[in-house]
Structure 1
Amino acid sequence: MTSAPARPRLSPPASLAPSEELLVALDIDGTIVQIDGYLHPVVAKGITAMRRRGAAVVLATGRGVDGVLPIARQLGMSDGYAVCANGAVVLQFDDSPAGYHLSDVVTFDPASALDQLRERIPSALFLVEDGNGDHYTTGPFPDGELATAPPIVPFERLRHMAATRVTVRAPDVPSAEFAELIADTGLHGVGYYIGWSAWLDIAPQGVSKASALEMLRGRLQIAPHATVAVGDGSNDVEMLAWAHYSVAMGQAPPQVQAQANEVTAPVTEGGLAYVLSAILTR
């Protein structure tokens, strides 16, 4: 008989009371949802409970706007904020027909990075998200990797867009080789994060989930010591270092876990629910 997974021992600071004076930043992929998009009911329940207690639960993700909205709907979020595109876009949920508006947008000129990367990885697919939250790509991505199918446009058109995010995907390149190619490219003037597969996200220089969250923290008048962050990827490192109390998911790489105060169970075991429960039951 298989024993149940061990419950992680988490000890959030006693000062983290679940109230409107608390900000809880949550990564989406690998934290809220599993790699196949599955949202464990106990995780959804924990997020709902935290919001009902008044906490400012902020979705913080590398996803674009169109990838965030389905998750927000699943969670019943009709108010609050989401940090998208690794901090370059902040949206606020509202009662408008769209259900949100973009409150803060940071763009950059992607031409140099695009040119460098196409020269280094000619077979790669390129995607740009503009300041309106719209996406354009040079070709179709593998099935299931994008929330919607963006228009396919010439590479030259992407070069002239004001971008909030550039994504580079090379399905035919092994992950380790892809990481080496990116390192050898020597990108300058931008921030970038390599994903689990041959996937690269590029953001404006100085922009991260942490920079957007710090802006929101000030806007919401929440004290620095009343901040929580949970994540699992390289694009969560700054966010985990920013939060007063940070937790890495159990499947996170060692370098990500090293930035967190504690480590919970993997996403496949509903690890986020343990974190939320530990705070809610203090």
Structure 2
Amino acid sequence: MTTPRPTAVGYVSAPTTGGLQQQRELLAGYAAREGFALLHVVADARDGVTLSELVDLAERHDAVHVLVPASNLMAARHQAVTDLLKRTDAVCTVVSGLAAGFGTVPGPRHVRLMIALDVDGTLTAEGRHDVPGETAEAVAQVRAAGHEIVIASGRSLVGLVPIIRALELETGWIVASNGAVTARLDPQAPGGYIVQDARTFDIEPVARLALDLVPEARLGAEEIGVGYRVTARFGRGQVSGAQRVVGLDELFAKPTPRLILAAPGLVTTLVEPVRALGLTANTVGADWIDATPPGLSKASALEEIRQRLDVSPERTVAVGDGGNDRPMFEWAARAVAMGNAPAAVREAADETTGTVEEQGVVDVLQSLLNPQLVAPIPAEATS
């Protein structure tokens, strides 16, 4: 007697006939590999099917699996679909490019990707606290496909909170302060995150050096999760969180993960002396230096997270636009510069996407869900 195969239905949505057909083939191939009987596939060109209609589809066909392509907007809502399906004992499965080794939720070590995303000039325009809707949707789709999104920024934790909320991230990892601070997102924790690692340093030597060489320099010592102790207030939007004006004794009182040095033309005078002290110095234009502890970068923090997550080095992607992104370009197996990045940053990347105004990061994220746009897994990663 033949054992009945598990039954499945599918939902595909794309603006073109070719796109719909590609998604149909993806679901059919997955069903065949898993031994499912794919009874029916609903095709919708406008993403108009509701969650309730999808559940009704499963009930009508007595299906135990609802298959949705990872490139579909419904993929970002797979948990909500699964919750509604509980009354039918069915589950929603997000299907991505299996032929290219990109797996389903959750993916094994050799197929799961870790994608590091810069913020300013990449996810959103410089200094903004929101994220374009299409970009947020692309991030959600990649996460729904089982991949790891890590926000990696020069911003402080306080400055990253609005971005995390705009992306509706409740779990995952963030790298702040150019790698000096690493936090794990936790919706139950105060502020929505738990600091996992904070590298600090004694700022007095570099601060006194800066004031000797550039007496008019403004200094700001980061206070994690709060803001900055400053010698003079910074302009609106230049720093995140509260600013507390203090004297030098109080400025030096506590170690900090980052010291800001700012004055017109200060970089030319100070960047090499700061580095001569053994510190990491990231510059922003000609007037700003972020000094952080020795040997730190976004890349050093990302590598620690990669090892925690047990993602293969060959499955790492980085997208950014600034000089502080170059170390993570060297770290990543696939490095993508934004079209608005300076020439030196673009040259350091493997490829260049559109500008932040064009939401070039969306093209990169969507390519990770499209088996025709991504390279096969290296042979050593599949052994």
Higher relative contact order (CA 8 A, sep 6+): 1
Contact 1:18/1:55 (CA < 8 Å) preserved in 2?
A: no
Alignment partner for residue 180 of structure 1, among 268, 272, 279? 268
| RMSD (CA atoms) | 1.9
Q: C-alpha separation between the residues in 1 aligned to 2:354 and 2:255?
A: 39
Give the share of equivalent positions with the same residue, in percent: 34
Partner amino acid, structure 2, of 1:56: E
Evaluate the alpha carbon distance shift between residue 169 and residue 259 of structure 1 in structure 2; reply closer, same or farther with a 3 A threshold. Answer: same
Q: How far off is 1:17 after superposition? A: 6.1
Quote the residue 1:8 is aligned against.
none
Alignment match, 1:279: 368
Q: Deviations over 1:188-210 (max 9, x none)?
A: 21001111352211111011100
**Counterpart of 2:368 in 1: which secondary structure?**
helix
Equivalent of 2:155, from 42, 48, 63?
63
Amino acid at match of 2:160: V
State TM-score, norm by structure 1: 0.88
Structure 1 distance, partners of 2:155, 2:104, is 27
Contact 1:32 1:43 survives alignment (8 Å): yes
Q: How far apart in 1 are the matches of 2:333 and 2:208?
A: 39
In structure 2, the CA distance between the partners of 1:65 and 1:131, relative to structure 1 (3 Å rule), is: closer
Q: How do residues 233-252 of structure 1 correspond to structure 2 at under 5 angstroms?
A: 233-252=322-341
What amino acid is aligned across from residue 180 of structure 1 in structure 2? T
* Equivalent residue runs for 1:127-166 within 5 Å: 127-130=220-223, 134-166=227-259
Of 240-249 and 34-43, the range deviating more from structure 2? 34-43
Deviations 1:131-175 (A, max 9, x none): 6665211121111222223211112322232111111222xx1xx
Is 1:191 paired with 2:280?
Answer: yes
Residue type of the alignment partner of 1:248: A
Q: Which residue of 2 aligns with 1:74?
A: 166
Answering whether residue 355 of structure 2 is matched by residue 266 of structure 1, we say: yes
* Gapped regions of structure 2 (runs ≥ 5): 1-99, 372-383
Q: What letter is aligned with 1:30?
A: G
Distance 1:133 1:36, change over 3 A: closer
* Total equivalences in the alignment: 264
Deviates more, 1:148-157 or 1:264-273: 148-157
Aligned partner of 1:125 among 205, 218, 221? 218
Distance in 1 of aligned mates of 2:319 and 2:278: 28
Which protein has the larger Cα radius of gyration, Structure 1 or Structure 2? Answer: 2
TM-score, normalization by structure 2: 0.65
Which position in structure 2 is the counterpart of 1:9? none
Secondary structure of the residue aligned to 2:243 is coil
Check conservation: 2:346, 2:352, Cα contact below 8 A: yes
The question of whether the paired residues in 2 share the 8 Å contact of 1:233 and 1:252 is answered with: yes
Map 1:8-157 → 2, pairs under 5 A: 20=107, 21-37=112-128, 39-94=131-186, 95-130=188-223, 134-157=227-250
Whether the 8 Å CA contact 2:171–2:184 is kept in 1: the answer is yes
- Is 1:255 matched with 2:344? yes
1:221 partnered with 2:314? no
Q: Distance in 2 between matches of 1:234 and 1:133?
A: 26
Alpha carbons of structure 1 residues 211 and 74: separation in structure 2 relative to 1, 3 Å: same
